[in-house]
């Protein structure tokens, strides 16, 4: 009886103590900018940004690491960052003058040697500091046609690289997170732990790495020696909260200051007076694609019949937010080469039937339509949208069997060209058309991609020329013509341009809506909760 009483007393003390102690939280002193806590749906893969392709890694890593140049944010204009200036007389050899006196967080200098070391690590498959990792973005963005064939230290703060061929777009690639500069000393010291939760990431950015608890949080702290203006925040914390409802709950409770929200949760957040929503221009397109090695999709009349048969405006009105727009072309207005003069793709089931009859399918046909198994801004409810499309197509005699599969398998089979008709989307990495229409339709002349078998020599050559043309006005004209071809031949039926929404608590100050970059170095929090 004596022991039981004491046990009960102890249990009561523990509970009261934990409730009391936690309400008397010691106040931390700081620089005045507070702590910003971001709630996101998943964790980063790695902070060795050169080796990743996911946005969650870039998002954190780009606060720790700087790139040579950056996109301005309210436009896709390239601005100096680690490099103060640059020149290229021929589009092949690019010379960058670096900021003087910039140091990595570990105190080592960020000079031309350090930058060259990074570039060599990306471009040389036999580089000893790759630890068997893949450098996909370098491979894709530079590849064989624009491979960096040489790097040079001209002087302590002047770095130069030479491409295999002239490129007008290399400046738009360099702001990508994959081309951020890490400390060579840190990589050599940490080996294959660099960028993982077992190691750190070391750059020149406004924030320094503090800790990474996998699937929980990544904590960054202010770099008081950053070369730029700021940061104001004392700490920047990225939390992983996988469940959408739980993330919304925390956002409403104020335990996080910024949240990535599911489409269905956005109206709830918008209705909260303590939350501010910002809308950014669309940088993505949801589309339906066709496999042109499969009949009847090899016939442009059939593709146009499908375009006329689907009431895309009704899809936007039903399944998307009011800020999202019906796509009138492949590239949204924010991307260079967007063509506003394309004739509208009208909803006209009669015309659809007429085209089908002309193509030799007066009674329609049967096919498979594959919809994505994941939620994306460009198709927020893919199954329901696919069902609505199926209903529209049935009205003109096209009977579709709806199919889907696991995301990894979906992408694999799409690559192999196994889908006759499928939905997918695209989000721009850097606002450049080479990363948009160029990505989708570039192929060696005469060698179409397996996924859609679409082959247009004029388009292929236009996209090669567009990537090399240094004159902005000429580039725009090239891509507008490319858009026209894609519109006329309908290898993709564009459906939606979803807007980007950013949500902050009201006590987060200093944010300006920008694209392709964060604004964390200018933000501060008035109180921590």
Partner 1 sequence: MTVYIIRRILGLIPVLLGITLLVFFLIRLIPGDPVITMLGDRASPQDIERVREQLGLNDPLHIQYLKYMGQLLRGNLGQSIINRTDVTFELAYRFPATIEMVISAMLIGVSVGITVGVVSAIRRNSWFDVLGMIGALLGVSMPIFWLALILIYALAVNRTVLPPSARLDVDLYVRRVTGFMLVDTLLEGDVYAFFNAIWHMILPSLVLSTVIMPALARITRASMLEVLRQDYVRTAWAKGLAEKVVVVRHALKNALLPVITVIGGQLGGLLGGAILTETVFSWPGMGTWTYRAILSRDYPIVQASVLVSATVYVFINLAVDILYAFIDPRIRYN
**249 contacts partner 1 (rule: CB under 8 A):** yes
> Residues 259, 39: contact at Cβ < 8 Å?
yes
Local structure of residue 20 (DSSP, 8 states): H
Q: CA nearest 425: which of 282, 286, 283?
A: 286
Binding positions for partner 1, 6-25, rule CB under 8 A: 14, 17-19, 21-22, 25
> Residues 56, 45: contact at Cβ < 8 Å?
yes
Beta bridge partners of 424: 287
Distance CA(351)–CA(20), nearest Å, equals 72
Candidate list 7, 10, 54, 314; residue touching partner 1; CB under 8 A: 54
Beta bridge partners of 221: 208, 235
Tokens of 29: 């002193």
CB of 59: closest distance to partner 1 in angstroms?
A: 15
Candidate list 99, 232, 235, 303; residue touching partner 1; CB under 8 A: 235
**210 contacts partner 1 (rule: CB under 8 A):** yes
Which residues lie closer than 8 Å to 197 by C-beta, 6 or more apart?
Answer: 212, 213, 214
Q: What mask of x and - would describe binding to partner 1 in positions 398 to 437, judged by CB under 8 A?
A: -------xxxxx-xx-xx--------x-------------
**211 contacts partner 1 (rule: CB under 8 A):** yes
How would you class 494 by CB atoms within 10 Å of its CB: exposed for 0-12, middle for 13-18, buried for 19 or more?
buried
Distance CA(468)–CA(457), nearest Å, equals 17
CA torsion sign for 297, 298, 300, 301 is negative
Query: Which window, 152-160, 249-257, 275-283, 321-329, contacts partner 1 (CB under 8 A)?
Result: 249-257
Residues that contact partner 1, how many (by CB under 8 A): 62
> Residues 310, 393: contact at Cβ < 8 Å?
yes
**132 contacts partner 1 (rule: CB under 8 A):** yes
CB of 384: closest distance to partner 1 in angstroms?
A: 21
**453 contacts partner 1 (rule: CB under 8 A):** no
CB of 173: closest distance to partner 1 in angstroms?
A: 13
Pairing relation of β-strands 69-71 and 275-280? unpaired
**213 contacts partner 1 (rule: CB under 8 A):** yes
Query: Which window, 75-83, 178-186, 240-248, 266-274, contacts partner 1 (CB under 8 A)?
Result: 240-248
Q: Which is nearer to partner 1, 301 or 440 (CB)?
A: 440
Candidate list 87, 136, 341, 512; residue touching partner 1; CB under 8 A: 136
Tokens of 183: 């400390």
Interacting residues toward partner 1 by CB under 8 A:
14, 17-19, 21-22, 25-26, 28, 35, 37, 45-46, 51, 53-54, 131-134, 136, 139-140, 192, 196-198, 210-211, 213-217, 219, 235, 237, 239-243, 245-246, 249-250, 252-253, 255, 405-409, 411-412, 414-415, 424, 439, 450, 528
């Amino acid at each position: 009886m004596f022991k039981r009483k004491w046990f009960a007393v102890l249990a009561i003390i523990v509970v009261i103590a934990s409730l009391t102690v936690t309400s008397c939280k010691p106040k931390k002193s700081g620089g005045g900018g507070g702590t910003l806590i971001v709630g996101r749906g998943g964790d980063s893969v790695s902070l060795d940004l050169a080796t990743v392709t996911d946005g969650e890694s870039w998002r954190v890593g780009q606060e720790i690491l700087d790139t040579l140049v950056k996109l301005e944010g309210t436009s896709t204009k390239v601005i100096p960052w680690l490099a103060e200036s640059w020149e290229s007389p021929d589009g092949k050899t690019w010379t960058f003058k670096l900021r003087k006196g910039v140091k990595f967080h570990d105190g080592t200098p960020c000079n031309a040697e350090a930058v060259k070391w990074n570039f060599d690590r990306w471009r040389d498959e036999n580089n000893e500091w790759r630890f068997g990792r893949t450098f996909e973005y370098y491979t894709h963005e530079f590849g064989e046609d624009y491979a960096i064939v040489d790097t040079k230290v001209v002087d302590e703060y002047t770095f130069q690289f030479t491409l295999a061929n002239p490129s007008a777009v290399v400046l738009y690639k360099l702001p990508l997170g994959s081309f951020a500069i890490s400390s060579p000393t840190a990589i050599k010291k940490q080996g294959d732990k660099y960028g993982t939760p077992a190691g750190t990431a070391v750059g020149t950015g406004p924030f320094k790495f503090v800790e990474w608890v996998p699937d929980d949080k990544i904590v960054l702290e202010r770099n008081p020696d950053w070369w730029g203006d700021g940061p104001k925040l004392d700490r920047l914390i990225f939390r992983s909260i996988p469940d959408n409802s739980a993330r919304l709950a925390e956002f409403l409770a104020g335990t996080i200051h910024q949240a990535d929200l599911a489409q269905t949760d956005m109206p709830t957040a918008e209705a909260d007076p303590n939350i501010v929503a910002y809308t950014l221009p669309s940088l993505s397109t949801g589309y339906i694609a066709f496999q042109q090695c499969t009949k009847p999709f090899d016939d442009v009349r059939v593709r146009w019949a499908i375009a006329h048969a689907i009431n895309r405006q009704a899809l936007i009105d039903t399944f998307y937010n009011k800020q999202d727009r019906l796509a009138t072309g492949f590239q949204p207005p924010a991307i260079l080469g967007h063509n506003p003069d394309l004739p509208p793709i009208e909803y006209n089931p009669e015309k659809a039937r007429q085209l089908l009859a002309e193509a030799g399918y007066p009674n329609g046909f049967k096919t498979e339509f594959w919809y994505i198994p994941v939620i994306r801004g460009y198709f927020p409810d893919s199954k329901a949208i696919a069902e609505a499309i199926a209903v529209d197509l049935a009205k003109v005699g096209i009977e579709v069997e709806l199919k889907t599969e696991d995301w990894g398998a979906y992408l694999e089979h799409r690559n192999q060209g196994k889908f006759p008709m499928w939905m997918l989307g695209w989000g721009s990495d850097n606002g450049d058309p080479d990363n948009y229409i160029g990505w989708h339709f570039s192929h060696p002349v005469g060698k179409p991609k397996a996924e859609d078998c679409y082959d247009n020599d004029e388009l292929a050559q236009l996209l090669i020329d567009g990537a090399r043309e240094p004159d902005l006005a000429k580039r725009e004209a090239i891509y507008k013509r490319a858009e026209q071809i894609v519109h006329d031949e309908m290898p993709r039926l564009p459906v939606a341009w979803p807007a980007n929404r950013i949500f902050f608590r009201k006590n987060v100050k200093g944010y300006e809506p920008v694209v392709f970059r964060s604004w964390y170095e200018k933000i501060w929090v008035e109180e921590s909760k």
